[in-house]
Copies of this chain bind each other. A is one copy, B any other.
Amino acid sequence: MATTTLNKSNIFFEPDSFSNLNSYLKKNKFSKIFILVDNNTFADCYPILAESCPLLHTAEIIEVESGEQNKTLNTCSEIWEGLSEINADKNSLLINLGGGVITDLGGFIASIYKRGISFIHIPTTLLAMADASIGGKCGVDLGNIKNQLGTITQADAVFIYTPFLGTLDTRHLKNGMAEVVKMALIADKKLITDLHNGKKQLEEIITKSVALKTAIVKKDPFDKGIRKTLNFGHTIGHAIEGSLLATKNELLHGEAIAIGMIIESFIALDKKLISKSDLTIIINLIKPNYELLKFNKSQYKSILELIQHDKKNKNTIIRMSLLKGLGSCIFDQEVSLVQIEKAFVNYTTLIES
Protein backbone atom coordinates (compact mmCIF):
# COMPACT_ATOMS: atom_id res chain seq x y z
CA MET A 1 0.00 0.00 0.00
CA ALA A 2 1.18 3.51 -0.68
CA THR A 3 2.72 5.97 1.74
CA THR A 4 0.74 9.08 2.65
CA THR A 5 2.75 12.22 3.36
CA LEU A 6 1.34 14.78 5.79
CA ASN A 7 3.69 17.73 6.10
CA LYS A 8 6.91 16.20 7.40
CA SER A 9 4.99 13.22 8.71
CA ASN A 10 4.96 9.90 6.91
CA ILE A 11 2.25 7.35 7.37
CA PHE A 12 3.13 3.74 6.54
CA PHE A 13 0.65 0.91 6.03
CA GLU A 14 0.78 -2.86 5.87
CA PRO A 15 2.41 -4.98 4.65
CA ASP A 16 5.46 -2.71 4.85
CA SER A 17 5.05 -0.88 8.13
CA PHE A 18 7.72 -2.70 10.11
CA SER A 19 10.24 -2.79 7.28
CA ASN A 20 9.76 0.96 6.95
CA LEU A 21 10.16 1.30 10.70
CA ASN A 22 13.44 -0.62 10.55
CA SER A 23 14.72 1.65 7.77
CA TYR A 24 13.68 4.71 9.75
CA LEU A 25 15.52 3.52 12.86
CA LYS A 26 18.64 2.68 10.87
CA LYS A 27 18.67 6.01 9.05
CA ASN A 28 18.25 8.12 12.18
CA LYS A 29 20.95 7.33 14.66
CA PHE A 30 19.06 8.12 17.86
CA SER A 31 21.11 8.29 21.03
CA LYS A 32 18.38 6.58 23.05
CA ILE A 33 15.04 5.02 22.19
CA PHE A 34 12.09 4.91 24.59
CA ILE A 35 8.85 3.01 24.04
CA LEU A 36 5.74 4.30 25.80
CA VAL A 37 3.25 1.49 26.43
CA ASP A 38 0.33 0.74 28.71
CA ASN A 39 -0.11 -2.56 30.50
CA ASN A 40 -2.18 -3.95 27.61
CA THR A 41 0.10 -2.95 24.76
CA PHE A 42 3.14 -4.07 26.73
CA ALA A 43 1.63 -7.54 27.04
CA ASP A 44 -0.02 -7.85 23.63
CA CYS A 45 1.86 -5.64 21.16
CA TYR A 46 5.37 -5.02 22.42
CA PRO A 47 6.52 -8.66 21.94
CA ILE A 48 5.41 -8.56 18.29
CA LEU A 49 7.11 -5.22 17.73
CA ALA A 50 10.35 -6.31 19.40
CA GLU A 51 10.46 -9.46 17.31
CA SER A 52 10.07 -7.49 14.09
CA CYS A 53 12.54 -4.74 14.97
CA PRO A 54 15.85 -5.97 16.40
CA LEU A 55 17.02 -2.36 16.82
CA LEU A 56 14.42 -1.97 19.55
CA HIS A 57 15.82 -4.72 21.78
CA THR A 58 17.80 -2.20 23.80
CA ALA A 59 15.04 0.40 23.94
CA GLU A 60 13.82 1.44 27.38
CA ILE A 61 10.17 0.74 28.19
CA ILE A 62 8.04 3.40 29.87
CA GLU A 63 4.83 1.80 31.11
CA VAL A 64 1.73 3.65 32.24
CA GLU A 65 -1.56 2.20 33.39
CA SER A 66 -4.13 2.00 30.61
CA GLY A 67 -7.09 4.35 30.48
CA GLU A 68 -8.06 7.97 29.93
CA GLN A 69 -7.80 8.75 33.68
CA ASN A 70 -4.01 8.56 33.30
CA LYS A 71 -3.83 11.13 30.49
CA THR A 72 -2.80 13.83 32.94
CA LEU A 73 -0.06 16.36 33.58
CA ASN A 74 0.97 14.24 36.57
CA THR A 75 1.77 11.28 34.36
CA CYS A 76 3.78 13.55 32.06
CA SER A 77 5.60 15.09 34.97
CA GLU A 78 6.72 11.68 36.26
CA ILE A 79 7.92 10.66 32.80
CA TRP A 80 9.76 13.96 32.22
CA GLU A 81 11.54 13.49 35.53
CA GLY A 82 12.40 9.91 34.61
CA LEU A 83 13.79 10.96 31.23
CA SER A 84 15.86 13.66 32.95
CA GLU A 85 17.22 11.27 35.53
CA ILE A 86 18.59 8.92 32.92
CA ASN A 87 19.83 11.92 30.95
CA ALA A 88 17.78 11.38 27.79
CA ASP A 89 19.20 13.91 25.32
CA LYS A 90 17.62 15.94 22.52
CA ASN A 91 18.57 13.25 20.01
CA SER A 92 16.33 10.68 21.74
CA LEU A 93 13.29 9.03 20.14
CA LEU A 94 9.98 8.30 21.83
CA ILE A 95 7.88 5.52 20.28
CA ASN A 96 4.22 5.64 21.28
CA LEU A 97 2.83 2.10 21.12
CA GLY A 98 -0.83 2.15 22.00
CA GLY A 99 -4.27 3.61 21.49
CA GLY A 100 -5.37 7.23 21.47
CA VAL A 101 -4.47 7.82 25.11
CA ILE A 102 -0.87 6.72 24.51
CA THR A 103 -0.46 8.66 21.24
CA ASP A 104 -1.97 11.84 22.79
CA LEU A 105 0.14 11.50 25.92
CA GLY A 106 3.38 10.48 24.22
CA GLY A 107 3.16 13.15 21.53
CA PHE A 108 2.72 15.78 24.23
CA ILE A 109 5.58 14.43 26.36
CA ALA A 110 7.94 14.43 23.37
CA SER A 111 6.87 17.83 22.04
CA ILE A 112 7.75 19.54 25.36
CA TYR A 113 10.82 17.63 26.62
CA LYS A 114 13.89 19.79 25.88
CA ARG A 115 11.55 21.85 23.65
CA GLY A 116 10.89 18.83 21.48
CA ILE A 117 12.43 15.44 20.70
CA SER A 118 11.53 13.10 17.84
CA PHE A 119 8.55 10.82 18.25
CA ILE A 120 6.68 8.27 16.18
CA HIS A 121 3.32 6.59 16.66
CA ILE A 122 2.59 2.88 16.34
CA PRO A 123 -1.18 2.88 16.90
CA THR A 124 -2.61 -0.37 18.23
CA THR A 125 -6.35 0.37 18.23
CA LEU A 126 -8.76 1.14 15.42
CA LEU A 127 -9.40 4.56 16.97
CA ALA A 128 -5.72 5.42 16.98
CA MET A 129 -5.06 3.99 13.49
CA ALA A 130 -8.02 5.66 11.81
CA ASP A 131 -7.89 8.93 13.71
CA ALA A 132 -5.89 9.80 16.84
CA SER A 133 -2.38 9.06 15.51
CA ILE A 134 -2.93 11.29 12.47
CA GLY A 135 -2.63 15.08 12.38
CA GLY A 136 -0.36 16.04 15.25
CA LYS A 137 -2.88 16.93 17.95
CA CYS A 138 -1.63 15.75 21.31
CA GLY A 139 -2.25 16.64 24.91
CA VAL A 140 -3.67 15.74 28.28
CA ASP A 141 -6.88 16.32 30.21
CA LEU A 142 -7.10 18.84 33.06
CA GLY A 143 -9.54 17.54 35.66
CA ASN A 144 -12.45 16.40 33.53
CA ILE A 145 -11.84 18.86 30.71
CA LYS A 146 -10.63 16.78 27.78
CA ASN A 147 -7.38 17.78 26.01
CA GLN A 148 -7.29 21.12 27.81
CA LEU A 149 -3.48 21.20 27.59
CA GLY A 150 -1.54 20.24 24.50
CA THR A 151 0.30 21.13 21.33
CA ILE A 152 -0.09 20.45 17.63
CA THR A 153 3.14 18.66 16.74
CA GLN A 154 3.46 16.21 13.87
CA ALA A 155 5.00 12.82 14.58
CA ASP A 156 8.11 12.00 12.56
CA ALA A 157 6.15 9.05 11.18
CA VAL A 158 3.18 6.80 11.86
CA PHE A 159 3.44 3.03 11.34
CA ILE A 160 0.08 1.31 11.01
CA TYR A 161 0.31 -2.45 11.66
CA THR A 162 -3.23 -3.76 11.31
CA PRO A 163 -2.65 -7.23 12.81
CA PHE A 164 -2.61 -5.46 16.21
CA LEU A 165 -6.37 -5.10 15.77
CA GLY A 166 -6.59 -8.81 16.49
CA THR A 167 -5.86 -7.99 20.14
CA LEU A 168 -9.01 -5.84 20.43
CA ASP A 169 -12.45 -6.85 21.69
CA THR A 170 -15.64 -5.75 19.89
CA ARG A 171 -16.19 -2.84 22.25
CA HIS A 172 -12.85 -1.31 21.31
CA LEU A 173 -13.39 -1.93 17.60
CA LYS A 174 -16.70 -0.07 17.80
CA ASN A 175 -14.95 2.65 19.75
CA GLY A 176 -12.69 3.32 16.78
CA MET A 177 -15.47 2.89 14.27
CA ALA A 178 -17.25 5.91 15.76
CA GLU A 179 -14.50 8.20 14.44
CA VAL A 180 -14.74 6.55 11.03
CA VAL A 181 -18.50 7.16 11.04
CA LYS A 182 -17.76 10.80 11.89
CA MET A 183 -15.27 11.06 9.03
CA ALA A 184 -17.88 9.67 6.62
CA LEU A 185 -20.63 11.98 7.90
CA ILE A 186 -18.53 15.13 7.57
CA ALA A 187 -16.65 14.38 4.36
CA ASP A 188 -17.64 11.31 2.36
CA LYS A 189 -21.23 10.43 1.47
CA LYS A 190 -20.21 7.25 -0.32
CA LEU A 191 -18.41 5.99 2.77
CA ILE A 192 -21.69 6.39 4.72
CA THR A 193 -23.33 3.90 2.37
CA ASP A 194 -20.32 1.57 2.50
CA LEU A 195 -20.35 1.59 6.30
CA HIS A 196 -24.08 0.98 6.30
CA ASN A 197 -23.67 -2.02 4.00
CA GLY A 198 -20.83 -3.31 6.14
CA LYS A 199 -18.93 -4.58 3.12
CA LYS A 200 -15.60 -2.80 3.50
CA GLN A 201 -12.68 -4.51 5.20
CA LEU A 202 -11.07 -2.87 8.22
CA GLU A 203 -7.85 -2.18 6.31
CA GLU A 204 -9.71 -0.35 3.57
CA ILE A 205 -11.68 1.62 6.13
CA ILE A 206 -8.49 2.71 7.91
CA THR A 207 -6.80 3.78 4.69
CA LYS A 208 -9.88 5.76 3.67
CA SER A 209 -10.20 7.42 7.07
CA VAL A 210 -6.50 8.35 7.14
CA ALA A 211 -6.76 9.81 3.62
CA LEU A 212 -9.83 11.88 4.51
CA LYS A 213 -8.27 13.19 7.72
CA THR A 214 -4.91 13.91 6.10
CA ALA A 215 -6.57 15.94 3.36
CA ILE A 216 -8.35 18.11 5.92
CA VAL A 217 -5.31 18.55 8.20
CA LYS A 218 -3.10 19.50 5.25
CA LYS A 219 -5.47 22.34 4.42
CA ASP A 220 -5.55 23.62 8.00
CA PRO A 221 -2.83 22.12 10.24
CA PHE A 222 -3.36 24.59 13.10
CA ASP A 223 -7.09 24.23 13.51
CA LYS A 224 -8.11 27.72 12.43
CA GLY A 225 -10.78 26.69 9.95
CA ILE A 226 -11.86 23.52 8.15
CA ARG A 227 -10.01 21.24 10.57
CA LYS A 228 -12.66 22.15 13.12
CA THR A 229 -15.13 20.01 11.15
CA LEU A 230 -13.28 17.00 12.58
CA ASN A 231 -14.83 18.07 15.86
CA PHE A 232 -18.34 17.16 14.76
CA GLY A 233 -19.92 15.22 17.63
CA HIS A 234 -17.12 16.27 19.96
CA THR A 235 -18.48 19.43 21.64
CA ILE A 236 -21.21 17.34 23.25
CA GLY A 237 -19.27 14.06 23.08
CA HIS A 238 -16.25 15.39 24.98
CA ALA A 239 -18.54 16.88 27.63
CA ILE A 240 -20.29 13.51 28.05
CA GLU A 241 -16.95 11.71 28.19
CA GLY A 242 -15.55 14.20 30.74
CA SER A 243 -18.60 14.14 32.96
CA LEU A 244 -18.49 10.34 33.24
CA LEU A 245 -14.68 10.09 33.59
CA ALA A 246 -13.69 7.90 36.53
CA THR A 247 -17.32 7.02 37.33
CA LYS A 248 -18.89 3.56 36.98
CA ASN A 249 -20.57 4.72 33.76
CA GLU A 250 -17.27 5.79 32.17
CA LEU A 251 -17.46 5.64 28.38
CA LEU A 252 -14.75 5.09 25.81
CA HIS A 253 -14.07 8.14 23.64
CA GLY A 254 -15.86 6.76 20.58
CA GLU A 255 -18.87 5.71 22.62
CA ALA A 256 -19.27 9.28 23.88
CA ILE A 257 -18.75 10.70 20.39
CA ALA A 258 -21.43 8.37 19.00
CA ILE A 259 -23.95 9.92 21.39
CA GLY A 260 -22.55 13.39 20.70
CA MET A 261 -23.07 12.93 16.95
CA ILE A 262 -26.74 12.03 17.42
CA ILE A 263 -27.44 14.99 19.72
CA GLU A 264 -25.55 17.42 17.49
CA SER A 265 -27.51 16.07 14.53
CA PHE A 266 -30.74 16.95 16.34
CA ILE A 267 -29.34 20.50 16.59
CA ALA A 268 -28.50 20.47 12.86
CA LEU A 269 -32.07 19.38 12.12
CA ASP A 270 -33.40 22.15 14.37
CA LYS A 271 -31.28 24.65 12.43
CA LYS A 272 -32.54 23.15 9.15
CA LEU A 273 -29.01 22.12 8.15
CA ILE A 274 -30.06 18.51 7.60
CA SER A 275 -33.37 16.90 6.71
CA LYS A 276 -35.41 14.40 8.71
CA SER A 277 -34.36 11.63 6.34
CA ASP A 278 -30.68 12.60 6.81
CA LEU A 279 -31.23 12.30 10.56
CA THR A 280 -32.81 8.87 10.14
CA ILE A 281 -29.78 7.66 8.18
CA ILE A 282 -27.45 8.98 10.91
CA ILE A 283 -29.45 7.34 13.69
CA ASN A 284 -29.62 4.03 11.79
CA LEU A 285 -25.85 4.09 11.37
CA ILE A 286 -25.17 4.73 15.06
CA LYS A 287 -28.03 3.43 17.20
CA PRO A 288 -27.68 -0.31 16.50
CA ASN A 289 -23.97 -0.26 17.42
CA TYR A 290 -23.70 1.92 20.51
CA GLU A 291 -25.35 2.01 23.88
CA LEU A 292 -27.25 5.28 24.01
CA LEU A 293 -27.07 6.23 27.69
CA LYS A 294 -29.76 8.09 29.56
CA PHE A 295 -28.27 10.82 31.75
CA ASN A 296 -29.47 11.59 35.25
CA LYS A 297 -29.92 15.18 36.44
CA SER A 298 -26.47 15.61 37.96
CA GLN A 299 -24.75 14.10 34.91
CA TYR A 300 -26.75 16.39 32.65
CA LYS A 301 -25.78 19.44 34.71
CA SER A 302 -22.10 18.51 34.53
CA ILE A 303 -22.35 17.92 30.75
CA LEU A 304 -23.84 21.38 30.19
CA GLU A 305 -21.08 22.94 32.28
CA LEU A 306 -18.34 21.15 30.36
CA ILE A 307 -19.83 22.16 27.00
CA GLN A 308 -19.08 25.73 28.03
CA HIS A 309 -15.35 24.87 28.28
CA ASP A 310 -15.09 23.68 24.69
CA LYS A 311 -12.06 25.00 22.79
CA LYS A 312 -14.19 26.16 19.84
CA ASN A 313 -16.25 28.60 21.96
CA LYS A 314 -15.58 32.32 21.60
CA ASN A 315 -16.59 35.10 23.97
CA THR A 316 -18.72 32.62 26.00
CA ILE A 317 -20.78 31.79 22.88
CA ILE A 318 -20.97 28.06 22.28
CA ARG A 319 -19.80 27.14 18.78
CA MET A 320 -20.09 23.73 17.16
CA SER A 321 -19.22 21.97 13.95
CA LEU A 322 -22.54 20.85 12.47
CA LEU A 323 -23.43 18.65 9.52
CA LYS A 324 -24.83 20.42 6.49
CA GLY A 325 -26.42 17.57 4.66
CA LEU A 326 -24.71 14.17 4.62
CA GLY A 327 -20.97 14.07 3.88
CA SER A 328 -20.52 17.76 4.54
CA CYS A 329 -19.90 19.86 7.63
CA ILE A 330 -19.63 23.53 8.60
CA PHE A 331 -17.82 24.98 11.63
CA ASP A 332 -18.08 27.89 14.10
CA GLN A 333 -21.86 27.55 14.22
CA GLU A 334 -23.32 29.38 17.18
CA VAL A 335 -25.64 27.23 19.25
CA SER A 336 -27.71 28.45 22.18
CA LEU A 337 -28.21 26.59 25.46
CA VAL A 338 -31.91 26.38 24.59
CA GLN A 339 -31.07 24.58 21.33
CA ILE A 340 -28.79 22.19 23.22
CA GLU A 341 -31.46 21.45 25.81
CA LYS A 342 -34.04 20.80 23.10
CA ALA A 343 -31.64 18.38 21.37
CA PHE A 344 -31.12 16.48 24.63
CA VAL A 345 -34.91 16.17 25.01
CA ASN A 346 -35.17 14.78 21.46
CA TYR A 347 -32.31 12.38 22.20
CA THR A 348 -34.06 11.15 25.36
CA THR A 349 -37.28 10.61 23.40
CA LEU A 350 -35.31 8.63 20.79
CA ILE A 351 -33.70 6.26 23.27
CA GLU A 352 -36.94 5.71 25.11
CA SER A 353 -38.79 4.93 21.88
Tell me the A residues contacting B by CB distance below 8 Å: 29, 31, 73, 77, 80-81, 84, 87, 89-91, 111-116, 137, 139, 142-143, 145, 147-152, 222-223, 308-309, 311-316
20 contacts between A and B (CB under 8 A): A29-B315, A31-B315, A81-B142, A84-B143, A84-B309, A89-B314, A89-B315, A90-B311, A90-B313, A112-B149, A112-B150, A113-B149, A114-B148, A115-B139, A115-B149, A115-B152, A115-B311, A116-B151, A116-B152, A116-B222
Residues of B within 8 A of A29 (CB): 315
Q: Which B residue sits closest to A73, measured CB to CB?
A: B77
CA distance A149 to B143 in the complex (A): 21
User: A90–B151 contact, CB under 8 A?
Assistant: no
Q: Which B residue sits closest to A77, measured CB to CB?
A: B73
**What's the least CB distance linking A273 to chain B, in Å?**
23
CA distance A314 to B312 in the complex (A): 40
Q: A73's contact among B73, B145, B150, B152, by CB below 8 Å, is which? A: B73
Most chain B beta-carbon neighbours within 10 Å: one of A115, A147, A149, A313: A115
Residues of B within 8 A of A112 (CB): 112, 149-151
Q: Which B residue sits closest to A138, measured CB to CB?
A: B115
**Given the contacts A116-B151, A142-B81, A152-B115, A312 and B31 also touching, CB distance less than 8 Å:** no
Residues of B within 8 A of A149 (CB): 80, 112-115
Copies in the complex: 2
Residues of B within 8 A of A77 (CB): 73
CA distance A150 to B153 in the complex (A): 13
CA distance A222 to B111 in the complex (A): 12
User: B31–A113 contact, CB under 8 A?
Assistant: no
Q: Which B residue sits closest to A222, measured CB to CB?
A: B116
User: A90–B152 contact, CB under 8 A?
Assistant: no
User: A114–B316 contact, CB under 8 A?
Assistant: no
**What's the least CB distance linking A348 to chain B, in Å?**
27
CA distance A151 to B142 in the complex (A): 19
CA distance A31 to B316 in the complex (A): 8
CA distance A137 to B150 in the complex (A): 17
User: A89–B150 contact, CB under 8 A?
Assistant: no
User: A111–B151 contact, CB under 8 A?
Assistant: yes
With A89-B314, A112-B149, A113-B149 given, name 12 new contacts (CB 8 A): A31-B316, A73-B73, A73-B77, A84-B145, A87-B316, A89-B315, A90-B313, A91-B315, A111-B151, A112-B151, A113-B148, A116-B222
Residues of B within 8 A of A142 (CB): 80-81, 84
**What's the least CB distance linking A91 to chain B, in Å?**
5
**What's the least CB distance linking A199 to chain B, in Å?**
37
